[in-house]
Structure 1
Amino acid sequence: MKPRKPKSGAGNAKRERTLVTPEGLAIPISIASRGSRFGALVIDWLIIITVMTLIRMLIGYASAGAMNEGVNTANEAVSGAAEFLVVVQLILLFLAWYGYFLVQELGPRGATLGKRAVGIRVASRSGGRLPPEAIIARNLLRDVEIFFPLVFILVALIMNSMDMDTGNMIWAAIGWLLIFALFPFFNKDALRAGDVIAGTWVVDSPRTKLADTLSTQGAAAKGSSDVTGARYEFGEAELSIYGERELQTLEKMLRDAKPEALTTVHATICNKIGWDPGAGDERAFLEAFYGQLRAKLEGDMRFGKRKADKFS
């Protein structure tokens, strides 16, 4: 009798997808829930608002003296130093608002602090590396989707409090906001408009450590096959092709993938490193490659060298 899955996992099953990499590898992933994406956005905005507030306070303290000294009794013009500080403040605020998302999502983790906190990351729907233009596009669209309509609503509320006629401005802004805010609820992958334009999606990325048992059993530990007795030893050049991201992917494949999927992974790695070990011993080959690649990356990290992925 097949064991029944708990009800809590029903939603997870609906979010399961298969990501096909440019190398032809089929990797199982899980689409991030809408709740986790909202939680990550709230955390990120709290961080950004805190940073921007600190910037304004620091620039305010720095410019206070210049402003007091630079006031001209005739036209009340501020000094050049105060004007310079105002420009610096605007630049820093701009970098804090846009740079926060761009710098972190362009990194190897593809995630901001908020996304890391809830265990999700941005990924390319094509399975390849995230191009800079995709990250820029999805983050610029966020302003159009959320920030601009919120500003219009705030402005309309202020104008109404001053008995100024705003017409249907506030309702138009609310409609604008709702269209984009509800967009992820009308597609199965929970994509927002920015994801559609950029060709991205947000997936689960749980923080897990590589289990010791995988590197201390089978060919990963011995370097040789229990089936054929063949010994697999890889050189520096062969192990330098891949990095931490590929190691984690290989670990997941060894744990979860079906034999036919391992055959594809085996063929891909052999093609990359120029090996032709034949067929029938794919798992032992991959276990040995995993064990030696992990040992190399861990050794490099002790000397302060990290290789995030094959592009590093």
Structure 2
Amino acid sequence: MKPWGKKAKAAAAVLPGGPPPGDAPRDRSLVTPEGVDLRLRLGDGGERATALMIDLAIMLGVLIAFTLLTLLAFVGSRGKGGEVIATVWMLVFFVLRNLYFILFELTPGAATPGKRAMGLRVAARNGGRLTADAIFARNAMREIELYLPMGFLIVNGGQVGAWISLAGLAWCGVFLLFPLFNRDRLRVGDLVAGTWVVKAPTRKLVPDLVQSSRPSHGRFVFTQAHLDAYGVKELHVLEDVLRRYETKTVALVAARIRLKIGWKASPDESDGDFLAAYYAGLRGRLESRLLLGKRRKDKHDKS
């Protein structure tokens, strides 16, 4: 049996033939190497469209505010430095158009303000880590999907014929409505980058779980070496296991952790008590390291 948390790509298994009875059509199954079935729910078309509108409104608001500031600066300088002011305005416009989505999705939350407002985030469809390359790829496609055709119609709308304008609108419509015509609600950019947009889990390391995870009998004493076997990623997986508390999964994960850290279980030691105690100890260890400016992402991070 492989140790718990063995480095491997997570197997993202979309349920064959649709979700099982009782599951929502947008539910998907993500099975990790630890044997944990993490249920994901895809963002629907309405949520994604609303998130995009929020982001575009923010971008437009920032651009309008900065435009007013540049006009005030131009008036205040009595017409001097107009080229510099125009260059700065173009730079801000470039950043908003090309880097707004990328920079926000590169954050740990992997979501723009619009996606956060709708409870969405970007994730890798293969279950692995969301890479910068994937984020760049999915957002580079937005230039083709939205900005180029819309820019063409706005700038040249009065100089082109009706058929060309209609073709431009059809182009925009195909790309904008594409998520509505595939099961996983994927944009073209998602297809290229291997990503999808899912409902962000309400992952909180709240005090109730910490308190309930602390061993009252004091028989679980983990050494620093025991706790340094894993990092933040494994802590989150362990939290999911404890919250769901499925007996088979608890037993499997407990066995793999014991094997990994070399822990010899006593005859009367329950898997649930062991995992709860290890969770409390691991979280305490990671929090103490964080106070020293050290953040260990997972068990392969040597920092």
Q: What TM-score do the two structures reach when normalised by structure 2? A: 0.77
RMSD of aligned residue pairs (Cα, Å): 3.3
Q: Match of 2:235? A: 247
1:133-152 → structure 2 map (5 Å cutoff): 133-152=133-152
Q: Match of 2:178? A: 183
Following the alignment from structure 1 to structure 2, what is the Cα–Cα distance between the partners of residues 96 and 144? 16
Following the alignment from structure 2 to structure 1, what is the Cα–Cα distance between the partners of residues 23 and 65? 40
Instruction: Give the stretch that moved more between structures: 128-137 or 291-300.
Output: 291-300
**Helix, strand or coil for the counterpart of 1:221?**
coil
Is contact 1:234-1:292 (8 Å) kept?
no
Q: Deviations over 1:275-307 (max 9, x none)?
A: 344698443332112222333455567x58584
Query: Identity of paired residues, percent?
Result: 34
Shift in CA distance, 127/234, structure 1 to aligned 2, threshold 3 Å:
farther
Instruction: Give the stretch that moved more between structures: 111-120 or 140-149.
Output: 140-149
Q: 1:238 aligns with which of 212, 224, 227?
A: 227
Is contact 2:74-2:85 (8 Å) kept?
yes
Bigger Rg over Cα: 1
Superposed displacement of residue 58, structure 1:
2.1
1:275 aligns with 2:262: yes
Q: Match of 2:115? A: 115
Following the alignment from structure 2 to structure 1, what is the Cα–Cα distance between the partners of residues 23 and 37? 19
**Helix, strand or coil for the counterpart of 1:13?**
coil
1:49 aligns with 2:60: yes
**Helix, strand or coil for the counterpart of 2:24?**
helix
- Partner amino acid for 2:284? A
Superposed displacement of residue 258, structure 1:
3.1
- Partner amino acid for 1:275? G
Q: Match of 2:168? A: 173
Shift in CA distance, 24/149, structure 1 to aligned 2, threshold 3 Å:
farther
Identify, as 1 or 2, the structure richer in helix.
1
Q: Match of 1:20? A: 31
Task: Number of aligned residue pairs: give it.
Answer: 278
Superposed displacement of residue 257, structure 1:
5.5
1:221 aligns with 2:214: yes
Following the alignment from structure 2 to structure 1, what is the Cα–Cα distance between the partners of residues 145 and 296? 32
Superposed displacement of residue 96, structure 1:
2.2
Following the alignment from structure 1 to structure 2, what is the Cα–Cα distance between the partners of residues 50 and 237? 51
Following the alignment from structure 1 to structure 2, what is the Cα–Cα distance between the partners of residues 216 and 65? 60
Superposed displacement of residue 23, structure 1:
6.1
Shift in CA distance, 154/12, structure 1 to aligned 2, threshold 3 Å:
farther
**Helix, strand or coil for the counterpart of 2:38?**
strand
Shift in CA distance, 232/259, structure 1 to aligned 2, threshold 3 Å:
farther
Is contact 1:183-1:193 (8 Å) kept?
yes
Q: What TM-score do the two structures reach when normalised by structure 1? A: 0.75
Superposed displacement of residue 180, structure 1:
1.1
1:131 aligns with 2:131: yes
Shift in CA distance, 97/270, structure 1 to aligned 2, threshold 3 Å:
farther
Q: Deviations over 1:149-196 (max 9, x none)?
A: 222333454x0xxxx552411111111112112211121111111111
**Helix, strand or coil for the counterpart of 2:57?**
helix
